Copies of this chain bind each other. A is one copy, B any other.
Amino acid sequence: MARIVGSIMSTHVPAIANALERHDEADPYWKPFFDGYEAVHSWLDEVQPDVAVIFHNDHGMNFFLDKMPTFAVGCAPEYRHGDEGWGIPTVDPYPGHPDLSWHLVEVLVGDEFDITTCQEMLVDHAVTNPMKLLWPGGGVPIVPVTVNTVMFPYPSAKRCFALGEAIGRAISSYDVEPDLRVVIVGSGGLSHQLEGKRAGFINKSFDLRFVESLTDDPRWVTQFSGEDLVKETGSQGVELLMWLAARAALGGSVRRVTWNYHIPISNTAAGTLVLEPAA
Contacts and interface: CB of A to CB of B under 8 A. Distances in A.
Interface size class of A (residues with CB under 8 A): 20 to 34
B106 A153 contact: yes
A149 to B, nearest CB: 13
Interface in A123-175: 151-156, 158-159, 162
Contact of A68 (B65, B112, B116, B154): B116
Contact of A65 (B112, B119, B156): B119
B69 A109 contact: no
A78 to B, nearest CB: 13
A28 interface: no
B153 A65 contact: no
Interface string A90-132: 0000000000000001100110111111111100000000000
B69 A116 contact: yes
Interface string A60-82: 00010111111110000000000
Interface of A: 63, 65-72, 105-106, 109-110, 112-121, 151-156, 158-159, 162
